[in-house]
Amino acid sequence: LSNSDSDNGAATDEQILQKASETLASDKNFILQAVQEGGKEVLFFASETLLNDTEVVMEAIRQEGAKKVLFAYKAIRSNKQIVMEAVKQNGLVLHDVSETLQNDKEVVMEAVRQDGFALEFASETLRSDKVVVMEAVRQHAVEHAGETFQSDKEVVMEAVRQDGHALRFASKTLRSDKEVVMEAVRKMRPFCKTLWSDQEVIQAVQS
């Protein structure tokens, strides 16, 4: 050890890795084992090729979680293969990926299937895509649908089928729509001034 190393005690893991040869930085087996031991920080010392290697990055994600890894490494936020695997684990990491992939329907659909609230991080174009919105709504995320969809009876009906409380995010018109409210009361016991006195609604609540 040099005098400075002796003065500061043992070298840190990061210092050791920084001195690793380019051969080791490109050695997949070595980097995989290092990731298993050291987590996402090891990726700082991996070659560019391995930083975009799905197996290596997914091992880091298994160790640290998708959000931490994607947040730390800007370089992999545009790698569709890696991002697809990441959103399957945690749809909310859509927040941390590139704008290009936030506008990729395949990526966004996978994200909202895992967590409907990922819709919030999709591009404006895809937040206006009914297929995407319907998938998010099936995962209880109607509040992130735009006003247009909160006034769309098909979307709102799907939302209240999943959770009657989703009725509160519907447009005023649909909150007073008998068919919508009837669907909602199958999931909960709502109070709707316009329809509460309606015998069909009362019977539905009591059934």
Average pLDDT, the chain: 80
pLDDT by position in tens, the chain (length 207): 444 444 455 566 656 655 656 678 888 888 888 888 877 777 777 888 888 788 888 888 877 777 777 766 777 888 898 899 889 989 999 998 999 999 999 999 999 999 999 999 999 999 999 999 999 999 988 888 888 898 999 999 999 998 888 888 899 999 989 999 988 888 775 454 545 555 554 554 444
Residue 83 tokens, joined: 């991002």
pLDDT for 145 equals 83
Flag whether the pTM goes above 0.75.
no
pLDDT for 21 equals 61
The string of pLDDT tens digits covering residues 68-91 is: 777 667 778 888 988 998 899 899
